[in-house]
Amino acid sequence: MRRREFIKVIAGSAAAWPLAAPAQQPAIPVVGYLGSETPEKFGIRLSAFQQGLSAMGFDDGRNVKIEYRWADGQIDRFPALAADLVRQTVSVIATPGSGVAALAAKAATTTIPVVFETGLDPIAAGLVKSLSRPEGNITGITSLNVAVAPKGLELLHELLPQANSLAVIVNSANPVNTTPI
């Protein structure tokens, strides 16, 4: 065998060798889910979250893993739960429906992306610096319930003009509820 033919055979074998070796599977991304209640109480929101991931081609256990952490209605648990997700080195932390969870996740990491969905004003709460340019590792959406609450009271007054007082039930331990309307 001539030298050039030998080099071609060796080069061809070397090129084919990685294909014959067991292919390494890419790491499955891990989504950290920080919920304020329990899976049972958050059933509709949890189902929507899973359906949204599925619509984007992500199915838990197949090509994504979801690590759930539930506060069971005890918002003081958020810092520890967020820190646990950071220790698990999740790819992203989702905090649907809780500005307090988003604040805890933001405090726990500056590198893992945090995605929130909340009714509070994310600028006033200190989640982001700007709605158009949130900066850092945190972004999300808001319904700005705090901004529209006065309009809701105005409509209620139009419906019940004879009412002299209204009662609002809130969780006073939740910092979101300290925002005056």
Name, of 12-16, 73-77, 165-169, the range with top average pLDDT.
73-77
What pLDDT score was predicted for residue 181?
A: 45
Is the CATH number 3.30.300.30 carried by domain 30-145?
no
| Per-residue pLDDT tens digits for 112-144 | 999 998 888 888 889 999 888 888 999 998 887
What does the pLDDT look like over 144-181, one tens digit per residue? 766 677 788 888 888 888 988 877 777 777 665 665 54
Q: Beta strands 138-142 and 114-118: pairing type?
A: parallel
Give me the helices (H) in 21-73, please.
Answer: 43-55
- Which pLDDT score is estimated for 13? 47
Q: What is the pTM of this model?
A: 0.70
Cβ count near 91 (within 10 Å): 14
Q: CB–CB of 133/108 below 8 Å?
A: no
101 touches 71 (CB < 8 A): yes
Average pLDDT, integer, range 75-82? 96
Determine contact, residues 92/67, Cβ cutoff 8 Å.
no
pLDDT the model gives residue 146: 66
Average pLDDT of span 69-74: 94
Domain ranges of the chain: 30-145
